[in-house]
């Protein structure tokens, strides 16, 4: 490319970053237009990365109270939780879920149910998930019948220390949900009054829904895997 | 024939004892409704208004002591397999087993990754008739029961079986 | 006179028992005939549904969802397909939406008919069972006409349905509805206002509203306690906002609000509402349109997770799907309404007699395939 062309491309990219796409779209030469557009995309990406890096650099200096939530309800709820229970969020504010640390979960849950403006009185779904890299996670989908809003709370624990406070006293369906998650993943819920397996027999070995689960060969003398001799 | 010829009236039937016993056992077998899963609903439909099983003499019994044939309808899991064996042992002789549906035959759609599924009920109890399908239509179950009746007719209960 | 020493007896209502619910075991502590404590033991039908989901592609999962709640297979399909389409942000053609609603409402009628017939059978009434199953067979005929299967259909696919409605389906459906509406009156005469049935079910197993919400009970069980919550109205999906129908709640017609009779009656009212919706949908449905035009070539949802709920005959069925961009889901969790309904049995049954427990269990309308997955 000649240096004049390069200068022209740089000018058009500047105009594009400023928001003026008409001059770019008016270019007749298809090759030139595509070069300008790809350069523009690269420039935008670089600008976004720089902004994120700048935000990350400055955030440890700010206290968490200075991060203002956007208007998305999820971020507002996360902000309220962080205000009432400092140092409980384990991730930045985002639009889909609220990641918290397991230590204060029982108090947070009681507050979520009793606080009049939130009033999350129904635990809709409780999922366990194996994130890989030795991490397990429990996800709670909460919903309020009165205000008709909902949030998702995620608590990640490591496999070696998979303990989460139990919330079965707060939402009574938590009793069975937590037993099932324990049965499938091996996450222990401290404070659960009846902590035993739900779906599998009491003497089953292993936690099936973990990604590295190996089925045992026999159970009480009955062979488990499908025996394929005699086929073809 | 000699002595016996031309002796009996029209209302006397003469047959082999084996065949008589087989005929008496095969008609009207009472089934033990062991409905576990989806196939149980088709078994109930077979017993209900449209495909009536009672016209063939088959009545549902809930207790194993009163039943002749056990229809294992549905997936048998490991937790349930021990109970299937126990219930089979509680049935009184002569007893027969029909494996209804592909789950009872060979594990069904859960054969590949089902860690808790018994791959076929014939691992724990001896099966006489397999009815394939997922779920088999009520007509298919009726055909399976009729095939079982043919099998019972051809049994020879009095002769000693070769080991 | 001495003191009679009594103690509690532990009775086992074993996994095999003559009722439709499935393989459920109840450990019952009784003092004579009065129950003091009930513990349900489940897991006798655990068929590893969630493990299968992690090894099959998105469309291979659909037959497995059928087999979870086998009495309302169309509704299960619907719930899963709505969740995946929301994750992929896929829009389906209007004719497909109408077909789905028609199938879902027909399935709702069939499921409620079976639930009520079997409830009568548990109580001891044999005739309503035969009548209701006879009418249910006509609905299954319509399903068989469309997709070839009577009970487990694999009908609703991601982005469409598997077969278009055959010629003559709409006429058959209208004929069925004209035949069926007077039958509801016959059921009311046979069972609903039968004196013995009312004695067996009214004032028994009362479920208060706050207990119901805390235990996550939903669907007809929740509406019978007076809470006006129906996902087809409150959290609308598909095209349910186009139809005019009422949300039926219990009103303590024959006894206390939230007893077994209310749960039975709400299901009977819901059958009438489904007939209303069906008439509107069959009349408004567009006649031509390709049902396969929005089927994606490869189902690869973007990375992310979603929790979406739909209203099945038993309550609200939730699917939590997590995807990492590959054709195979990372995690599919099915939150079944019967699971929550069974968990409340321990609260409801204390203090009643043995035969009342059967009455309460039947009114909750559970299916073990859905509970154990």
pLDDT tens per residue, range C348-363: 888 888 888 889 999 9
In the predicted model, is pLDDT for residue A35 greater than 80? no
The predicted model gives C41-47 an average pLDDT of: 91
Q: Residue C320: what pLDDT?
A: 93
Q: Residue B6: what pLDDT?
A: 79
The predicted model gives C270-279 an average pLDDT of: 93
User: How many CB atoms neighbour CB C346 within 10 A?
Assistant: 16
Strand A163-165 versus strand A188-190 pairing type? parallel
Residue in chain B nearest A215 by alpha carbon? B115
- Tell me how far apart the alpha carbons of residues C237 and C310 are, in angstroms, rounded to a whole number: 7
Distances (CA, A) of A201 to A205, B79, B82, B109, C209: 9, 6, 11, 22, 34
Q: Please report whether residue C24 resides in a domain.
A: yes
In eight-state DSSP terms, residue A210 is S
* Nearby residues of B27 by Cβ (< 8 Å), 6 or more positions away: B57, B149
Q: Residue C278: what pLDDT?
A: 93
Q: Which of B109, B75, B73, A222 is nearest to C18 (CA)?
A: B73
Direct distance between the N- and C-terminal alpha carbons of chain C, in angstroms, rounded to an integer: 55
**Residue of B45, B114, B135 with shortest CB distance to C152:** B135
Q: Do A222 and B116 touch (CB under 8 A)?
A: no
Q: How many CB pairs under 8 A join A and C?
A: 67
- Tell me how far apart the alpha carbons of residues B114 and C372 are, in angstroms, rounded to a whole number: 13
- Tell me how far apart the alpha carbons of residues B157 and B17 are, in angstroms, rounded to a whole number: 10
Residues on chain C touching A184 (C-beta within 8 angstroms): 50
**Residue of C71, C130, C369 with shortest CB distance to B49:** C130
CB contact, 8 Å: C15 with chain B?
A: yes
Q: Residue C62: what pLDDT?
A: 92
Assign B105 to helix, strand or coil: helix
Residues on chain C touching B109 (C-beta within 8 angstroms): 63-64, 67
In the predicted model, is pLDDT for residue A159 greater than 70? yes
Q: Please report whether residue C129 resides in a domain.
A: yes
Asked if residue C348 lies in contact with residue C31, where contact means CB atoms within 8 angstroms, the answer is no
* Nearby residues of A184 by Cβ (< 8 Å), 6 or more positions away: A128, A199, A207, A208, A209, C50
Interface probe with C: pick from A120, A122, A130, A177, most Cβ of C within 10 Å: A122
Instruction: Give C237's strand partners.
Output: none
**Residue of B49, B83, B117 with shortest CB distance to C47:** B117
Tell whether ipTM is more than 0.95: no
The predicted model gives A202-223 an average pLDDT of: 85
Residue in chain C nearest A147 by alpha carbon? C234
Strand B96-100 versus strand C9-13 pairing type? unpaired
Residues on chain B touching A213 (C-beta within 8 angstroms): 115
Residues on chain A touching C309 (C-beta within 8 angstroms): 124
**Phi, psi for residue A150 in degrees, rounded to 5:** -145, 155
Q: Do B79 and A224 touch (CB under 8 A)?
A: no
Assign A199 to helix, strand or coil: coil
Query: Which subunits have 3 or more CB–CB pairs within 8 Å of chain A?
Result: B, C
**Residue of B48, B109, B115 with shortest CB distance to C133:** B48
Give the tens place of pLDDT for each residue, B134-147. Answer: 889 999 999 999 99
Separation in Å, CA of A218 to nearest CA in chain B: 10
Q: Do C214 and A148 touch (CB under 8 A)?
A: no
Q: Please report whether residue C196 resides in a domain.
A: yes
Q: Which of B72, B58, B61 is nearest to B100 (CA)?
A: B72
Q: Please report whether residue C154 resides in a domain.
A: yes
Q: Please report whether residue C2 resides in a domain.
A: no
Interface probe with C: pick from B48, B88, B103, most Cβ of C within 10 Å: B48
Separation in Å, CA of B50 to nearest CA in chain C: 7
Which residues constitute the domain of residue C33? 9-372
- Tell me how far apart the alpha carbons of residues C145 and C150 are, in angstroms, rounded to a whole number: 9
- Tell me how far apart the alpha carbons of residues C149 and C143 are, in angstroms, rounded to a whole number: 7
Direct distance between the N- and C-terminal alpha carbons of chain A, in angstroms, rounded to an integer: 66
Separation in Å, CA of A74 to nearest CA in chain B: 37
Burial class of residue A166 in the structure, from the number of CB atoms within 10 Å of its CB (0-12 exposed, 13-18 middle, 19+ buried): buried
**Residue of A215, A222, A226 with shortest CB distance to B81:** A222
Burial class of residue C194 in the structure, from the number of CB atoms within 10 Å of its CB (0-12 exposed, 13-18 middle, 19+ buried): middle
Residues on chain C touching A130 (C-beta within 8 angstroms): 331
Asked if residue B96 lies in contact with residue B152, where contact means CB atoms within 8 angstroms, the answer is yes
- Tell me how far apart the alpha carbons of residues C215 and C340 are, in angstroms, rounded to a whole number: 6
Window 21-50 of B, Cβ < 8 Å to C: 33-38, 40-42, 44-45, 48-50
Kind and range of the H or E run holding C330: none
Assign C158 to helix, strand or coil: coil
Asked if residue C204 lies in contact with residue C119, where contact means CB atoms within 8 angstroms, the answer is no
Burial class of residue C12 in the structure, from the number of CB atoms within 10 Å of its CB (0-12 exposed, 13-18 middle, 19+ buried): exposed
**Phi, psi for residue A155 in degrees, rounded to 5:** -130, 120
CATH 3.30.460.80 fits A70-209, yes or no: yes
Q: Which of C346, C218, C303 is nearest to A123 (CA)?
A: C218
Give the tens place of pLDDT for each residue, C315-370. Answer: 999 999 999 889 999 999 999 999 999 999 988 888 888 888 889 999 998 999 89
Residues on chain C touching B34 (C-beta within 8 angstroms): 16
In the predicted model, is pLDDT for residue B32 greater than 70? yes
Q: Do A200 and B107 touch (CB under 8 A)?
A: no
Whole-prediction pTM: 0.86
Q: Residue A59: what pLDDT?
A: 45
Q: Do B62 and C18 touch (CB under 8 A)?
A: yes
Asked if residue C69 lies in contact with residue C351, where contact means CB atoms within 8 angstroms, the answer is no
Residues on chain C touching A121 (C-beta within 8 angstroms): 210, 213-214
Q: Which of C274, C270, C271, C272 is nearest to C282 (CA)?
A: C274
Q: Do A125 and C318 touch (CB under 8 A)?
A: yes
Asked if residue C202 lies in contact with residue C254, where contact means CB atoms within 8 angstroms, the answer is yes
Separation in Å, CA of C317 to nearest CA in chain B: 19
Give the tens place of pLDDT for each residue, C181-192. Answer: 999 999 988 888
- Tell me how far apart the alpha carbons of residues C371 and C373 are, in angstroms, rounded to a whole number: 6
* Nearby residues of B128 by Cβ (< 8 Å), 6 or more positions away: B96, B97, B98, B148, B151
**Residue of C215, C318, C331 with shortest CB distance to A129:** C331
Distances (CA, A) of C9 to B59, C14, C33, C205, C356: 33, 15, 10, 22, 17
Q: Do A173 and C331 touch (CB under 8 A)?
A: no
**Residue of A208, A213, A226 with shortest CB distance to B107:** A226
In the predicted model, is pLDDT for residue A135 greater than 80? yes
Mean pLDDT for all residues in chain C: 90
The DSSP code sequence of C74-107 is HHHHHHHHHHHHHHHT----HHHHHHHHHHHHHH
Strand C315-323 versus strand A122-132 pairing type? unpaired
In the predicted model, is pLDDT for residue C298 greater than 80? yes
Q: Do A172 and C330 touch (CB under 8 A)?
A: no
Q: Please report whether residue C3 resides in a domain.
A: no
When pLDDT is cut at 50, 70 and 90, the band that residue A231 belongs to is low
Q: Do C339 and A176 touch (CB under 8 A)?
A: yes
Q: Do A172 and C343 touch (CB under 8 A)?
A: yes
- Segment among B66-80, C63-77, C247-261 with least mean pLDDT: C247-261
Q: Please report whether residue C1 resides in a domain.
A: no
Q: Do C15 and B114 touch (CB under 8 A)?
A: no
Separation in Å, CA of C264 to nearest CA in chain A: 23
Q: Do B77 and C14 touch (CB under 8 A)?
A: no
In the predicted model, is pLDDT for residue A61 greater than 50? no
In the predicted model, is pLDDT for residue A58 greater than 60? no
In the predicted model, is pLDDT for residue A85 greater than 60? yes
Q: Do C339 and A175 touch (CB under 8 A)?
A: no
Number of domains in chain C: 1
Distances (CA, A) of A102 to A107, A147, A159, A194, C9: 10, 26, 14, 20, 41
Q: Please report whether residue C4 resides in a domain.
A: no
In eight-state DSSP terms, residue B121 is G
Domain boundaries along the sequence of chain A: 1-68, 70-209
Asked if residue C250 lies in contact with residue C222, where contact means CB atoms within 8 angstroms, the answer is no
Separation in Å, CA of B44 to nearest CA in chain C: 9
- Tell me how far apart the alpha carbons of residues C275 and A149 are, in angstroms, rounded to a whole number: 32
When pLDDT is cut at 50, 70 and 90, the band that residue A65 belongs to is very low
- Tell me how far apart the alpha carbons of residues A29 and B27 are, in angstroms, rounded to a whole number: 89
Instruction: Give B100's strand partners.
Output: B73, B131
């Amino acid at each position: 490319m000649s240096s004049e062309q390069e200068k022209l491309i740089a000018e058009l990219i500047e105009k594009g970053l400023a928001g003026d796409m008409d001059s770019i779209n008016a270019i007749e030469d298809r090759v030139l237009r595509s070069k300008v557009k790809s350069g523009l995309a690269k420039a935008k990406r670089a600008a976004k990365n720089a902004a994120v890096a700048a935000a990350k650099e400055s955030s440890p200096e700010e206290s968490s109270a200075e991060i203002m939530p956007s208007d998305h309800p999820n971020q507002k709820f996360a902000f309220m939780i962080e205000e009432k229970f400092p140092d409980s969020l384990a991730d930045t504010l985002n639009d889909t879920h609220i990641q918290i640390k397991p230590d204060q979960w029982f108090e947070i849950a009681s507050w979520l149910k009793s606080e009049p403006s939130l009033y999350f009185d129904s635990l809709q779904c409780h999922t366990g998930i194996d994130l890989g890299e030795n991490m397990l996670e429990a996800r709670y989908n909460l919903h309020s019948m009165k205000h008709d809003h909902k949030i998702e709370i995620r608590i990640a624990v490591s496999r070696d220390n998979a303990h989460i406070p139990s919330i079965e006293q707060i939402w009574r369906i938590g009793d069975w949900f937590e037993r099932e998650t324990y049965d499938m993943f091996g996450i222990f819920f401290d404070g659960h009054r009846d902590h035993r397996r739900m779906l599998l027999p009491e003497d089953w070995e292993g936690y099936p829904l973990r990604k590295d689960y190996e089925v045992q060969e026999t159970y009480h003398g009955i062979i488990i895997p499908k025996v394929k001799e005699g086929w073809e | 024939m000699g002595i016996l010829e031309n002796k009996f009236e029209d209302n006397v039937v003469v047959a082999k004892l084996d065949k008589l016993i087989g005929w008496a056992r095969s008609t009207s077998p009472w089934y033990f409704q062991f409905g576990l899963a989806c196939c149980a609903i088709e078994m109930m439909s077979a017993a209900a208004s449209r495909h009536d099983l009672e016209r063939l003499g088959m009545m549902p019994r809930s207790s194993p002591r009163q039943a002749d044939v056990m229809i294992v309808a549905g997936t048998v899991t490991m937790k349930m397999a021990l109970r299937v064996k126990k219930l089979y042992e509680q049935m009184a002789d002569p007893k027969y087993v029909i494996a209804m549906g592909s789950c009872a035959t060979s594990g069904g759609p859960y054969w590949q990754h089902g860690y808790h599924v018994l791959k076929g009920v014939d691992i724990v109890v001896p099966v006489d008739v397999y009815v394939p399908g997922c779920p088999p239509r009520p007509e298919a179950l009726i055909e399976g029961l009729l095939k079982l009746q043919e099998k019972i007719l051809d049994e020879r209960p009095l002769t000693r079986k070769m080991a | 006179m001495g003191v009679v020493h009594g103690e509690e007896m532990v009775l086992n209502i074993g996994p095999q028992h003559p009722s439709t619910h499935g393989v459920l075991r109840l450990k019952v502590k009784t003092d004579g005939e009065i129950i003091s404590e009930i513990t349900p033991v489940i897991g006798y039908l655990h068929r590893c549904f969630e493990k299968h989901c992690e090894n099959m592609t998105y469309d291979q999962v659909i037959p497995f969802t059928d087999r979870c709640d086998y009495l309302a297979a169309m509704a299960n399909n619907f719930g899963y397909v709505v969740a995946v389409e929301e994750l992929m942000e896929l829009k389906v053609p209007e004719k497909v939406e109408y077909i789905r609603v028609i199938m879902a409402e027909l399935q709702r009628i069939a499921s409620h008919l079976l639930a009520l017939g079997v409830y009568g059978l548990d109580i001891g009434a044999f005739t309503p069972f035969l009548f209701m199953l006879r009418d249910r067979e006509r609905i299954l005929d319509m399903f068989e006409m469309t997709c070839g299967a009577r009970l487990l259909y694999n009908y609703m696919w991601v982005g469409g349905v598997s077969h278009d409605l055959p010629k003559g389906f709409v006429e058959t459906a209208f004929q069925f509805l004209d035949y069926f509406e007077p039958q509801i009156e016959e059921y009311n005469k046979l069972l609903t206002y039968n004196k013995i049935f009312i004695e067996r079910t009214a004032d028994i197993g009362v479920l208060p509203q706050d207990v119901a919400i805390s235990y996550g009970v939903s669907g007809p069980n929740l509406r019978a306690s007076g809470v006006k919550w129906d996902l087809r109205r409150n959290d609308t999906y598909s095209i349910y906002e186009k139809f005019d129908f009422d949300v039926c709640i219990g009103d303590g017609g024959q006894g206390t609000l939230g007893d077994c009779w209310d749960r039975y009656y709400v299901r009977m009212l819901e059958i009438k509402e489904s007939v209303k919706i069906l008439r509107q949908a069959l009349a408004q449905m567009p006649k031509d349109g390709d049902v396969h035009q929005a089927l994606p070539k490869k189902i690869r949802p973007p990375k992310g997770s979603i929790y979406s709920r739909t209203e099945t005959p038993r309550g609200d069925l939730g699917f939590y799907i997590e995807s990492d961009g590959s054709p195979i889901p990372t995690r599919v969790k099915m939150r079944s309404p019967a699971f929550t309904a069974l968990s409340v049995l321990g609260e409801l049954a204390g203090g009643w007699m043995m035969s009342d427990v059967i009455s309460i269990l039947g009114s909750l309308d559970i299916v073990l395939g859905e509970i154990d997955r």
